[in-house]
Amino acid sequence: MAKKINIGVIFGGKSGEHEVSLVSATSIIEALDKKKYNVVPVGITKTGDWLATGDPIKALKSGKIKYAKKAEVLIPARQGNFLQVGKKKIKIDIVFPVLHGTYGEDGSIQGLFEMAGIPYVGAEVLGSAIGMDKVVQKELYKNIGLNVSKYIWFFKNDWEKKGESENILRHIEKDIDYPCFVKPTNLGSSVGISKAKNKNELIKAINLAAKYDEKILAEEAVLNAREIECAVLGNENFKASIPGEVIPSGDFYDYNAKYVDGESEIVIPAKLSADVSKKVQESAIKAFEAINCKGMGRVDFLIDNKSEKIYINEINTIPGFTSISMYPKLWEQGGLSYPALLDELINLAILRFKEKQNRLSSYEPDESWYK
């Protein structure tokens, strides 16, 4: 029998999506085939401490743990990677980061895995960082001819400068108009996002977004918007799932509609014409490729219900992963079960790691160089 793979599932973390991550990780740990994997659950507290002993999921779910008692940390070692817990070493062959948002989905922790020389599931440093920045990704989407809604962005610093704020407001009213969406550039789960219908609301929306980020985005609202999502899988020869639709319980898909009231609905497959469905799939793959994404990504679109115009909204490089989340559900419809999807993602991570190992990383000058 093949040797079991030690897989570190990392969850929690220093982000507004800490709680969501715990639910995703619970589903993943449950579904991983224990005949193939030794699962090492690793929790990260909201203050950034790592927990790898006992039952980290339970500990984090209790909300009582803030600091780890012992230093638990991933050590980059040349021969085999391990978590150092006090004096004990826990071996890890591969990591599955189930961390949504800041520090987990933005390239930070991916950088640590690169330094440690350890394979990990999903997007790498660059893809993760771009996938987190709503402005940088829009620029790339525009470059490859995808439709994005009209937007402008500015720094919080400028907004707070005397005289500048009036200019910014004027610019938004002239080029974007109402209703518009105001967002912190690097966040998720709809935190800090508002829809503004007049100047008063716009000022409030900008002040709110500025609490979360130094970069603020204002964009034209897609009218009569349908929320269509498409799952992409692969390192190359990317596969796109059939599109699904979210029907939010409120005016838009805000935090409450996503996680609190439980009244938003998911429809798979989305009721779209074959033509629109195909365009969504093609655009999803193009977007995935444009940001340098690897492994998995859920690409979200807004479609104007009247004109049928398709706008790309954003990509999520670590999408929600509970057993009822859109990403695994879309693949399930396509014939790939939840445990088989996990196997595939782990396999893609290992393939990618081997590919990178085979690459030259330094230049060997000849002897004369040293003289």
Share of the chain residues as helix, strand and coil, in percent rounded to the nearest 5: 35, 25, 40
Give the start-end residues of each E strand in the chain. 5-12, 37-44, 50-51, 72-75, 81-85, 88-92, 94-98, 151-155, 180-184, 194-196, 215-220, 225-234, 239-240, 244-247, 265-267, 295-304, 310-316
Annotated binding residue 241: no
Tell me if 180 sits within 8 A of 195, measured CB to CB. yes
Annotated binding residue 224: yes
Q: Which of 322, 18, 316, 303 is nearest to 147 (CA)?
A: 303
Q: Which is nearer to ligand ADP, 8 or 248 (CB)?
A: 248
Q: Which is nearer to ligand ADP, 149 or 281 (CB)?
A: 149
Annotated binding residue 300: yes
Q: State the residue number with the nearest CB to ligand ADP.
A: 253
Q: Which is nearer to ligand ADP, 183 or 352 (CB)?
A: 183
Residue 254 Cβ vs ligand ADP, minimum distance, rounded to whole Å: 7
Residue 178 Cβ vs ligand ADP, minimum distance, rounded to whole Å: 12
Residues lying near ligand ADP in the complex (CB under 6 A) are found at 149, 181, 183, 188-190, 193, 219, 221-222, 225, 227, 248, 252-253, 300, 302, 313-314
Q: Which of 231, 175, 217 is nearest to 344 (CA)?
A: 231
Annotated binding residue 283: no
Q: Are strands 94-98 and 5-12 parallel, antiparallel or unpaired?
A: parallel
CA pair distance 309, 287, nearest whole angstrom: 17
Annotated binding residue 199: no
Grouping H, G, I as helix, E, B as strand and the rest as coil, residue 22 is helix
Q: Which is nearer to ligand ADP, 178 or 353 (CB)?
A: 178
Residues with a known catalytic role: 17, 189, 325
Residue 103 Cβ vs ligand ADP, minimum distance, rounded to whole Å: 15
Binding residues for Mg(2+): 300, 314, 316
Binding-site entries for ATP: 134, 181-183, 189-190, 219-227, 313-314
